[in-house]
Amino acid sequence: LRHLLSLDGLSSDLIIDILDTAEQHDKLLAGPEKKLGTLSGRTVINLFFEPSTRTRTTFELAAKRLSADVLNLQVAASSTSKGETLFDTLKTLEAMQADMFVIRHESSGAAHFFAEHAAPGVAILNAGDGRHAHPTQGLLDLFTIRRYKSLPGEATRDCFSRLSVAIVGDVLHSRVARSGIHGLRILGCQDIRVVAPPTLVPVGIKEMGVSVHHDLEAGLDGVDVVMLLRLQKERMLGAFLPSLGEFHRDYGLTRARLAKLKPEAIVMHPGPINRGVEIEGDVAYGPRSLILQQVSHGIAIRMAVMSLILGRDNGERR
């Protein structure tokens, strides 16, 4: 693995390897000594052109746990605000001997652009590009599902083929949904349902191997995992169809709707949540919710990805 731009095209063996490596890191993080020397002497630069709480901080923490030197470019205060291009920004930071860039950008394809122009030995990790992909979110979601839905004694890749997963909400704007669908499909999940109003379903989504439901009750019938998505108001230019109130009425996960799910069904959300829109606050922090576990797993997953790409065992990169 040279870069991580998307889960699309990765092998199931590689994804399982990342999840298994993350399990080891997660065990380490639960103990008193949380640090490894894997990336000692390496430099990781976080370049976030869009806001982030979870992804940016867990990438930073993961890199620090691996002993890398970490820089966070303050994009608003950087020379990009004076018109410096992405290419020139990349080349300038490469000149400081950066080994890895973690990039979030509003444009789909921005991480691919960086990967295309990165110097040999420099790795690019996509931390979310437009509506396209959010691969480490997809991986941490797979990690969470496997951890909570595997049966005792089951092989580490076997749970996905027997699970039904509903992805509910603003699929149209969601890079999380795309990465989740790719990851679930690669690991053998047969029943992936997209549940959303017609206005929030992208054209051609069925070609990704999912079924589409516009009725929430039917879409959630018998599912093992409910993955809620945030209504991405910032990408809707003020036009909400349906309105936030209508969306909550027809698709919001309330306590009453939660009670109708299978008792062992789990609730996930990548965050940040719109309280009272796609999920009630009580449900978000209730016993069936794994939202905060997803955040914690993000550290182990990002450690795994960075160490597999840049770790000492991966050979000399410079």
Residue set of the binding site for carbamoyl phosphate: 54-55, 104, 134, 137, 271-272
Give the number of residues in contact with ligand CP, rule: CB under 6 A.
9
CA angle, residues 71, 41, 31, in degrees to nearest 5: 85
51/209 with CB nearer ligand CP? 51
Of 56 and 65, nearer to ligand CP (C-beta) is 56
End-to-end CA distance of the chain: 16
Looking at residues 72 to 111 of the shown chain, list those that interact with ligand CP (rule: CB under 6 A).
none
Q: Which of residues 126-165 bind ligand CP (CB under 6 A)?
A: 128, 137
Q: If binding is defined by CB under 6 A, does position 179 make contact with ligand CP?
A: no
Cα gap 283→255, rounded to integer Å: 6
Among 37, 198, 222, 272, binds ligand CP (CB under 6 A): 272
In the complex, the smallest distance separating the C-beta of residue 225 from ligand CP, rounded to whole angstroms, is 17
Tokens standing for residue 37: 């020397």
Nearest approach in angstroms of CB 236 to ligand CP is: 16
Cα 19 to Cα 132, 286, 291, 301, 302: the distances in Å are 22, 26, 18, 7, 10
28: which DSSP letter?
H
Question: Residues annotated as binding site for L-aspartate?
Answer: 82, 175, 230
Single out the residue of 135, 197, 270, 311 in contact with ligand CP (rule: CB under 6 A).
270
Which of 18-26, 141-149, 269-277, 309-317 is the region at the interface with ligand CP (rule: CB under 6 A)?
269-277
Token pair for residue 290?
């794994």
Only segment of 76-84, 184-192, 231-239, 267-275 that touches ligand CP (CB under 6 A): 267-275
If you ran DSSP here, which 8-state letter would residue 4 be given? Answer: B
User: How far apart are alpha carbons 197 and 76 in whole angstroms?
Assistant: 35
Question: Would you say 50 or 280 has its CB closer to ligand CP?
Answer: 50
User: One-letter amino acid identity for 11?
Assistant: S
- Least distance between ligand CP and beta carbon 52 (Å): 3
Strands in 211-213's sheet, in edge-to-edge order, are 211-213, 191-195, 164-168, 225-228, 266-268
Kindly tell me which residue out of 40, 53, 199, 243 binds ligand CP, with binding defined by CB under 6 A. 53
Task: Please name the residue that has the structure tokens 């298994």.
Answer: 20
Question: Minimum distance between the CB of residue 226 and ligand CP, rounded to whole angstroms?
Answer: 16
Among residues 6, 46, 55, 164, the one that binds ligand CP under rule CB under 6 A: 55
Q: Closest distance between ligand CP and the C-beta of residue 139, in Å?
A: 12
Candidate ranges 37-45, 48-56, 147-155, 305-313; the one touching ligand CP (CB under 6 A) = 48-56
Q: Which one of 52, 150, 232, 314 is in contact with ligand CP (CB under 6 A)?
A: 52
Which residue from 34, 54, 64, 147 is in contact with ligand CP, where contact means CB under 6 A? 54
Per-residue x/- mask for ligand CP, residues 214 to 253, rule CB under 6 A? ----------------------------------------
CA–CA dist 251, 199 (Å, integer): 13
Give 253's Cβ-side CA count (13 Å radius): 37
From the list 225, 152, 156, the residue with the least C-alpha distance to 13 is 156
Taken in order 168, 169, 171, 177, the sign of the CA dihedral is negative
CA 234 to chain centre: 19
Tell me the C-alpha distance between 222 and 253, whole Å. Answer: 15
CB of 272 to ligand CP, least distance (A): 6
Buried b (16+ CB within 10 A) or exposed e, 52-79: bebbbebbbbbbbbbebbbbebebeeee
Kindly list the residues in this chain that would bind ligand CP in the complex (CB under 6 A): 52-55, 128, 137, 270-272
